[in-house]
A = this chain, B = another copy of it.
Amino acid sequence: MKIKRIAHLGIAVKDLDAPKKFYAENLGLKLKGEEVVETQKVKVSFIQVGESKLELLLPTSADSAVAKFLENKGEGFHHLALEVDDIHAAVEELKAAGVRLIDETPREGAHGALVAFLHPKATFGLLVELCQYPD
């Protein structure tokens, strides 16, 4: 497969305002909008860094996976998203190589992307998402 760039770093937070203010005012980074991803029960706020983004993840419901993550581990790094040009081919390639996946079939994510998460056991403790953006 061909990975083009780090699409984003997902970061679990308990509030959006304070981290947005920090990244914008103290680090001088650009805020790039917000979106509610209903399927994941999160409100997402994007911050541009070079060709990549930080993606702040705020749970919108107590039964969101990110709410559970915050309960167990607190705020901080959640996942690394890598952009591929053909996510269906990439997922098939990983399955053929016996790599463990959370999503055996790509599903819809933020920004109209198709996403598939690898299993953290396959990626040495790091939760890795592959994503493909619409043209």
Contacts and interface: CB of A to CB of B under 8 A. Distances in A.
Interface of A: 1-6, 9, 11-13, 18-19, 22, 25-29, 49-52, 74-77, 80, 82, 93-94, 97, 99, 120, 122-126
Contacts of A4: 50
Given A26-B94, A82-B27, A99-B26, A6 B124 contact: no
Nearest to A78: B77
B49 A6 contact: yes
A49 B124 contact: no
Contacts of A120: 76
Which A-B residue pairs are the 9 nearest by beta carbons?
A: A5-B50, A76-B125, A75-B125, A77-B77, A19-B124, A75-B124, A1-B28, A6-B52, A76-B126
Contact of A49 (B5, B18, B27): B5
A22 B124 contact: yes
Contacts of A22: 99, 122-124
A126 B5 contact: no
